[in-house]
Amino acid sequence: MKRREFLKLGGLGAAMSLGPRGLQAAETSKAGAVKEPARDVPVAGGADVVVCGAGPAGVAAAVAAARKGAKTRLVELHGCLGGVWTAGLLSWILDHSNKRGIMQEIWDRLVKRSSRAYTQSGKATNAYDPEVMKLVLEEMCAGAGVEVQLHTRVCAAVRDADQRLTHVVTESKSGREAFAGKVFIDCTGDGDLAARAGCGFDLGHPETGNTQPFSLMAIISGITPEGIAGFFRDDDGKNWASPKDRLRAEMEKGGHSPSYAKPTIFRLRDDLFALMANHEYYAKGTSARDVTAATLRARKELHALVDGLRSLGGIWKDIHIVATGAQIGVREGRRIHGLYTVSADDLREGRQHKDAVCRATFGIDVHSTDPKKEKGIEKAGFRAKPDDIPLRALIAKDAQGLMMAGRCISGDFIAHSSYRVTGNAVAMGEAAGKTAAVAAKTGRLPQAVDIAEIA
């Protein structure tokens, strides 16, 4: 790697390692800044397709690319695969019922391990056991031959003179390393790789800049389906509102009003339940300080809410938190500029595309960006129709050889609130992985791959 290529991108001038004694005082440059010496970063490996971020989109992308015959590397920040599904304890998959391929395979594997939740009448729900999900995703990656590296963060990117992405630079216990690739897929959720590659992006509401609030999930126990009937949805009906309102009233009776006006409990198995009752407003997923402060506040709130319920006695006397998410749920990060931008008009008109990779059927779901006005879901002014996500929205506009999958694809604020859910993320990831594999194996850019080639 040539030094001038390495230093040409923003942020890459800070790519270095500290010596055995660290930086010396003479190397400081000015007040409030430290000058770090540049160095060559070792290339630790290469692949046809490099996927960054192993959430629902990233795992699907990596598995699809590897099954298509591409040598594939998957880099993940946390100590498990699955992202918000596992580290985030989400435990609930939205907009999956019309998805086949890898999404259906995941469900089939969960069912085989008795880890999908069912209502008392025997109907399958959207819930799953997050611990078993970790194992299922690991087995799928291992079976496909994906090279997985956990505990590794994306910190920089390298492009050549033609603006083609050539390496991703990471930081981990192994130090700073670079990985070469022919095609890269950003599945980090917040678009970290694309941003570090110099791509343009949008963030937050176009007028206020506010993003949707975070939510920290919790797994709870000490309650039974029979005992809390009426406070959670466990039937074949469509009524979510009444159980949520009753649960909020119980929480307020226990002395704490939840920051999310529609707190939700759903059953995972036996006496194991998931709880979503928290909103963290005015925080950016791209700020470590915001994420840290929000996580600390959220965990404190969840414990207070559960402690308050337990103080009521009766059906709540044994309720307790088993675990809270290692990763807070971030609904909205960077929306990377692509060759097509999915818009509110796409939802309004239910647009279809010849290069469709996913049909989003979930409605507009903007969690309130201003708690002074609303602590639930904001009204959009129109009802969304099922619409297509085109392959072009998964291809970066400002860097060659870079794709996106999941919530960081190219779209506007309203459209994002519909396609961001994880059932769609899996479908997008699968399509991106197949496209990247074909492009890498044939020496083309992703935009040169026809949709028929990834069927």
HEC secondary structure over 97-116:
CCCCHHHHHHHHHHHHCCCE
CA pair distance 337, 109, nearest whole angstrom: 35
Q: Which bin fits 183, alpha (ψ -120 to 50), beta or left (φ > 0)?
A: beta
CA pair distance 273, 302, nearest whole angstrom: 14
The string of pLDDT tens digits covering residues 216-231 is: 999 999 999 999 999 9
Collapsing DSSP states into helix, strand and coil, what is residue 293?
Answer: helix
What is the H or E stretch that residue 67 is in?
helix 56-67
CA pair distance 299, 322, nearest whole angstrom: 12
> Residue 447, Cα to own-chain centre: how many angstroms?
24
Write phi, then psi, for 377 (nearest 5 degrees): -110, 130
Question: Tell me, what's the pLDDT at 288?
Answer: 97
DSSP symbol at 35:
-
104: Cβ–Cβ under 8 A, 6 or more apart, which residues? none
Which of 202, 207, 363 lies closest to 284, judged by CA?
202
Collapsing DSSP states into helix, strand and coil, what is residue 265?
Answer: strand
Reading the block at residue 412, the tokens are: 């506007």
CA pair distance 11, 8, nearest whole angstrom: 9
The string of pLDDT tens digits covering residues 239-254 is: 778 999 999 999 999 9
Please give the mean pLDDT across all residues of the chain: 93
CA pair distance 392, 396, nearest whole angstrom: 8
CA pair distance 23, 31, nearest whole angstrom: 15
Collapsing DSSP states into helix, strand and coil, what is residue 245?
Answer: helix
Sign, CA torsion 121/122/128/131: positive
The string of pLDDT tens digits covering residues 392-416 is: 999 999 999 999 999 999 999 999 9
* Contact status, residue 356 vs residue 390, Cβ threshold 8 Å: yes
Write phi, then psi, for 323 (nearest 5 degrees): -165, 150
Q: Please name the residue that has the structure tokens 């290529």.
A: 5
> Tens-digit pLDDT profile for the chain (455 aa)?
444 444 344 334 333 344 445 555 555 567 788 888 888 999 999 999 999 999 999 999 999 999 999 999 999 999 999 999 999 999 999 999 999 999 999 999 999 999 999 988 888 999 999 999 999 999 999 999 999 999 999 999 999 999 999 999 999 999 999 999 999 999 999 999 999 999 999 999 999 999 999 999 999 999 999 999 999 977 655 677 899 999 999 999 999 999 999 999 999 998 899 999 999 999 999 999 999 999 999 999 999 999 999 999 999 999 999 999 999 999 999 999 999 999 999 999 999 999 999 999 999 999 999 998 889 888 888 999 999 999 999 999 999 999 999 999 999 999 999 999 999 999 999 999 999 999 999 999 999 999 999 98
CA pair distance 49, 44, nearest whole angstrom: 15
Reading the block at residue 232, the tokens are: 């959670």
* Contact status, residue 375 vs residue 260, Cβ threshold 8 Å: yes
Collapsing DSSP states into helix, strand and coil, what is residue 60?
Answer: helix
CA pair distance 322, 220, nearest whole angstrom: 5
Beta strands, E only, 272-325? 272-276, 320-324
Collapsing DSSP states into helix, strand and coil, what is residue 56?
Answer: helix
CB atoms inside a 10 Å sphere around CB 79 = 11
Collapsing DSSP states into helix, strand and coil, what is residue 14?
Answer: helix
* Contact status, residue 89 vs residue 219, Cβ threshold 8 Å: yes
Reading the block at residue 67, the tokens are: 């099954």
Rounded to two decimals, the pTM is 0.93
Domains of the chain with bracketed CATH: 44-205+332-363+387-454 (3.50.50.60), 218-324 (no CATH)
